[in-house]
Chain A
Amino acid sequence: MSQGAVQIQKNPSQAPYLVWPVARREFYASISLAMLLPVGWGTIIFGWRMLAVLLVSLGAATLVHAGLSRFTRRGNVLVHVHTVAGVMTLVALSNPQWPGWIVACAAALLPAIAWVLGGPGREWVHPSAALALVMTLGMPAAMAMHNVGEIRNAELGTVFHDAILARNRLFMGDVRDQHPAPLYRWSRSSQLDGDDAMQMQRPDYIAQQALDDVSAQLRNAELTADGGLVPAPKTYQQIHEGLDQVLVAQLPAMDLVLIGAMPGQVGTVCLLGILAGGLYLSYRTILRFRSALMFLVTFVLAELLLTLWPASVHHLGFWGLLSVLDNLGGELLTLWGYSVLGSDMLFAAVFLLALPGTEPLTSRGRRAFLVTAGLAAGFLHRWNLPILPATTILMLLMPARGIFDLAFSRRSWLAR
């Protein structure tokens, strides 16, 4: 909503004479504070380098902010806590292997972008999240350059070669000093030939690859008549053998996933930390609990619907699908769980939705927006692309929030 060039004074002689104690400063400060826990865990699991990146980024952004505020007339539209919240979001969505100077440069751009756009509330997308997405798309090459000594691309794939620190090198280790390791075990550095970090694939990538394999096997499965057309026993045997390998030897224990001992973006891996931040923001009424829940539920449902690809479901038919659920249901659900929890879904639902302006204003518009975003993000995630699906979809839909408002808003109940 534009304000024009007119400076508005909140006249203390006009009602209301009281104001809710959460002003714009508290709004952004609370979001920054809530991000401390997941980002703090990120510095532990990915090392001191992340803390350095965070501090340098904050310093760079603050310097630019101060310069613009002091030396330009338009600088009075900038709000420092808004800049800080932007930097926190950017660092939280950063890959720990990105060169720190690039993140710091991007952070320094944030106040400049806000300055150009006219301050908080004027942006079409959140610049911090948008910059993180751009870097995610453009950075694998840079990452490969930095890790060229140790990466075994042939074994681990070219994109998802992430890492976490060995369990005896937490915080103190260098996440770029990597050695390939299986994900199911949280190794010590001595088991990594003295290196600090274990290089591995993300659990959601492994889980989705496994689901793709199961889908492909079921799509080509021979169906036998056993009270209806169902996959032959040898198909199940082959699938079980493949899943044993994945579930026992590749995927980490679920408790490690929950505390955040898995590779990923700095602020997105610690699910418990994000939940704690979400509870705090809900308590401050900054995060709409229902919005977060609606986005999460639709995301999860979309992933559930696409656990098996539609072609496989079509090939199996009703009885075949029932048989698959009977024989593989539990394992598929476990893989689905890893896939969901390894994504940026929870971070986006808590922190991006808490940032003002992400959602439409009206409650009906908001519901339609969140359902659309949740479904789209779930589908996008299932494609296993090297991007942050929930963040990407929210940032893509954010400029269209006004359209959702227009299409779905209702008039006052008195006017109907």
Chain B
Amino acid sequence: MGGLFFGPAGWSPERIEGLAQGNGKPAPALVNTAANQPNNRTLVELLKLAGVEQTSAIVPSIMKQAADISDPRIRSLVLNLLPTQPEFALPLALSRTALADVLDGLAAIQHHVRARRVSVALDRHDHALRRIWKKARGPLEFNVVSLLNRYPQAHHTVLLRSLYGKEVPPGDLPTRAHRMVVDVVSSWALGRYMRTGEKMTRRPVQLFVREESHKREPRIVMAEIGETVAALLERHTIAWASRQVIVNGMLAGRHVDAATTPIAADTESIAVRQQPAEETASPCIACGWCLDHCPTGLNPVGLYELSRKASGRDTDQRVPLGLQTSSRESLFCVGCGLCSYVCPTRLPLMPQILQLQTLVARTQEPAPPSDPAEPDDEEGAS
């Protein structure tokens, strides 16, 4: 399987700025009393109470997964501590500063979904995080699975293949394979709600500031959900005017207008940098790097060509997408951006493939995914 090994973050956060322990009252009895029959519906209610919705740009919403469970007893519950982008240290920061909350949140989810097995997936080379979780003792039994973190390993499509050999297309939820994948912020927010009764109105965000004059380490700060990105940056004395502000990672994130874009529940990181110079792409030299690195085994340059033809830029007539079986493969693109990242001729592969994906999704129904639910198997770290 492709992907690119970025290794653990080169810095080690000791604290999250603005994260107070909180001393409110514990959450209502709905949480984990025996009186309430635990099931996925009560989990959805609990998540609504805690205000926990989509908390990661890559990991699917725990609420959607809980609502999707038909059989409440799922096979594995996976806490995903793998970095969702390079140099991302949020899982380590939360594990260091709020481990009890993360464990409590995970225990609450397990209480409701009654997974046969609970796993904590983390980067094999992130020794600090591994030490924390090896020593962690909490209300539930879990095993720590160390993976060679090839970006985008944190994506559930790639993660479920690495852990269980299950093939879950990017648009599908892990619950289709009777697995549930939880990100660290969801787990932390739920645990915190149970301990203090505080809803998730703030979340930790990692700030990357790239300045030419001096190098500043990234930091993790608490951000109010709903405030603008500009307000957060100004509060932390980061100049953003005339700079490029990118949300949720340099590889798969998006460029935003800081003044008008609010911090959302799934805003994991904000990067601020100087506007880069525009580069002109040149013709493909057939190096094959995009194919080597694609984590889902696609042919990015082939899809790129197809996309260009389909969008009618090369030819006057559009290629009938319904006849192109290969164009359907674009539906399996996870949008990690690795193909564009490695391309030595700087072709905009990922944007074109995502454009094709939209076209295909619009013109035809996606192929019915094969039922990945098979007899239970052992976890295999890749």
Contacts and interface: CB of A to CB of B under 8 A. Distances in A.
B346 A19 contact: yes
B282 interface: yes
Interface of A: 1-4, 6-20, 22-24, 26-27, 77, 79, 118-122, 288, 356-357, 359-363, 366, 401, 409-416
A2 to B, nearest CB: 7
A119 B282 contact: yes
A9 B280 contact: yes
Chain B residues touching A, majority SS: loop
Nearest to B273: A17
A26 B292 contact: no
Contacts, number: 166
A3 B283 contact: yes
Interface stretch (B31-39, B127-135, B334-342): B334-342
Contacts of B281: 8-10
A295 to B, nearest CB: 15
Contacts of B298: 412
Contact of A413 (B161, B244, B252, B343): B161
Contacts of A121: 282-286, 345
Interface stretch (B10-18, B42-50, B234-242, B347-355): B347-355
A19 B279 CA distance: 11
Given A1-B305, A15-B350, A24-B345, A415 B283 contact: no
B286 A357 contact: yes
20 contacts: A1-B304, A1-B305, A3-B283, A9-B279, A11-B278, A14-B350, A15-B254, A15-B350, A16-B338, A16-B340, A16-B341, A17-B251, A20-B341, A20-B343, A24-B345, A77-B282, A120-B285, A356-B285, A356-B344, A414-B297
Nearest to B255: A13
Contact size range, B: 35 or more
Contacts of A401: 286
Chain A residues touching B, majority SS: loop
Contacts of B292: 288, 363
Contacts of B289: 20
Contact of A120 (B246, B273, B283): B283
B301 interface: yes
Contacts of A362: 288, 291, 299
Contacts of B296: 412-414
Nearest to A358: B286
B72 interface: no
B288 A1 contact: no
A107 to B, nearest CB: 21
A415 B328 contact: yes
Contact of A412 (B288, B332, B343): B332
Contact of B285 (A18, A24, A360): A24
A363 B291 contact: yes
A27 B285 contact: yes
B297 to A, nearest CB: 4
Contact of A23 (B246, B299, B344): B344
